[in-house]
């Protein structure tokens, strides 16, 4: 059974010079398990978060927005 002590002896923080944008290296690090277990941001892809991709979500959550069929039609036109 893997105890706290077992993990404590194996985990390590990724080096400051580690580049999380390197997809191949990130995959290699993600496969590490056993004698060494990496901690930190293993992979990061620079892309907008979900809310940034949809301007209507930046105002407020959809559940708090009033429903306007005409506005919805305009939004759907933008998406398609």
> How high does pLDDT run on average in the chain?
89
Query: What Rg do the C-alpha atoms of the chain give, in angstroms?
Result: 21
Q: What is the pTM of this model?
A: 0.56
Q: How far apart are CA 54 and CA 18, in angstroms?
A: 32
At residue 76, does pLDDT exceed 80?
Answer: yes
Q: How far apart are CA 46 and CA 24, in angstroms?
A: 16
- How confident is the model at residue 60, as a pLDDT? 83
């Amino acid at each position: 059974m893997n105890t706290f002590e077992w993990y404590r002896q194996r985990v390590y923080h990724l080096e400051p010079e580690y580049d999380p944008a390197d997809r191949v290296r990130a995959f290699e690090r993600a496969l590490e398990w056993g004698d060494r277990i990496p901690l930190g941001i293993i992979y990061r892809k620079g892309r907008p978060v979900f809310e940034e991709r949809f301007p209507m979500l930046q105002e407020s959550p959809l559940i708090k927005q009033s429903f306007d069929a005409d506005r919805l039609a305009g939004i759907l036109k933008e998406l398609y």
